Amino acid sequence: MNVDLRERWFIRDVEIPTRLVLAPMAGLSVQAFRRQGRRFGAGLVCSEMVSCAGIEHRNEKTLGYLRVASDEHPLAIQIFGSEPRAMAEAARMVEAAGADLVDINFGCPVRKVTKTGAGATLLDDQGRAAAIVEAVAGAVDAPVSVKMRRGLRDGDRTCLALGPELVEAGAATLTLHPRSAQQMYTGTADHSLTAELVSLVHVPVIASGDITSRAKAQAVLATTGAAAVMVGRGAQGNPWALREIVDGDGAEPSREEVVAELVLFIRETVRELGERRASGFLKKFYSWYLGRGRFPKPFKQELVVLGPTEEVERRLVAAAPGALQLIEQLEAELPVGDEVLLDLPISIYGGG
């Protein structure tokens, strides 16, 4: 059975135009990433985790503050924390900033987060997890989604007991990344658990984990009954993978297209994070974009050691001058002056 990835679906009254969701990834899901994801076919994009600890004591290590623009919608903003009251407060702020969905992180396996009682540790504290969802759902009109792992330890099936409880507490959708927190990103995502979860709840389930191609997306949708697939690592420096998954258009991008997307990404990220933060942040993207045989290795290595992003941009355009026209077109399509800035820090300790 082939599922049409271009089919729209709903999370309560929020319409999601395709069955592809771009994953939240700390240290990656900046506004440029989310916007690009929408352009390449993601029906829903997610922010990085914002820390609700920032509400109480503003000493969270942060990459900056979240900006939301009109072309990102529908947008889920992800919050994490362990106190129901603070989470409810964060949810209100996130909704006021324009979130169409408030997403709660119960999947982050990173110690910096779990040691505060947030992220994946909540999988083992059913009472608190449900209290958080209830508090958040009671605080906002937007639908609440929860993103979780299968459990803390290898082999755990915690998500199957917890999922229905969270729906009972008010979650309007669940995203499952069926690896344990202990596994981090090793092994494979066991989507037989996703199928079980789908059979246990009456809300849409989003399947996350190891989806890198249209064939895999179709197989996961068909065998699990999930409403949508979520793509994370497969889209790193490769928005064209999203197009292949949604439309089956597997054409390799030209050099000009690669350079145009990367230059736009650089410019937008500098605008969002400032030159100092952005120049370090962007380095991993150079390898991702220029790899896959698109550019020779020495060129890639040269860019990574360059300091100022203007210099990187100059070298990129010199390698594919035809990209300039594409960049102009892409920039002309960006909305201007309609951003909302959310006064909560973006956590730099991500994962899920």
Ligand X SMILES: Cc1cc2nc3c(=O)[nH]c(=O)nc-3n(C[C@H](O)[C@H](O)[C@H](O)COP(=O)(O)O)c2cc1C
User: How far is 223 from 214, CA to CA, in rounded Å?
Assistant: 14
User: Which three-class secondary structure state does DSSP give residue 177?
Assistant: strand
Q: Which of 148, 195, 151 is nearest to 173 (CA)?
A: 148
Backbone angles phi, psi at 276, to 5 degrees: -65, -50
Interface with ligand X, residue 123, by CB under 6 A:
no
Q: Which two tokens stand for residue 117?
A: 């009682």
Stretch touching ligand X by CB under 6 A, among 30-38, 91-99, 104-112, 137-145: 104-112
204 binds ligand X (CB under 6 A): no
When binding is defined by CB under 6 A, the residue of 178, 209, 237, 345 that contacts ligand X is 209
Of the pair 259, 342, the CB lying nearest ligand X is at 342
The nearer residue to ligand X, 150 or 267, going by C-beta atoms, is 150
> Please, which residue, 18 or 78, has the CB nearer to ligand X?
78
By the 8 A CB rule, do 120 and 70 touch?
Answer: no
Assess whether 52 carries a catalytic annotation.
Answer: no
- The residues with which 66 forms a beta bridge, in sequence order, are 342
Pick 20 or 69: Cβ nearer ligand X: 20
Binding test (CB under 6 A) with ligand X, winner from 158, 180, 183, 208:
208
Q: Does 170 bind ligand X (CB under 6 A)?
A: no
Q: Among 211, 228, 245, 264, indicate the residue that binds ligand X (CB under 6 A).
A: 211
Do the beta carbons of residue 142 and residue 102 sit within 8 Å? yes
Is residue 74 involved in binding ligand X (CB under 6 A)?
A: no
Which of 21, 26, 30, 326 lies at the binding interface for ligand X (CB under 6 A)? 26
Contacts of 345 (CB under 8 A, 6+ apart): 50, 51, 54, 58, 60, 61, 62, 63, 64, 65
Output phi, psi for 30, to 5 deg: -70, 175
How many binding residues for ligand X (CB under 6 A)?
Answer: 25
Active site residues: 108
Chain residues in the site for ligand X (CB under 6 A): 23-28, 48-49, 78, 105, 107-108, 147, 177, 208-211, 231-234, 350-352
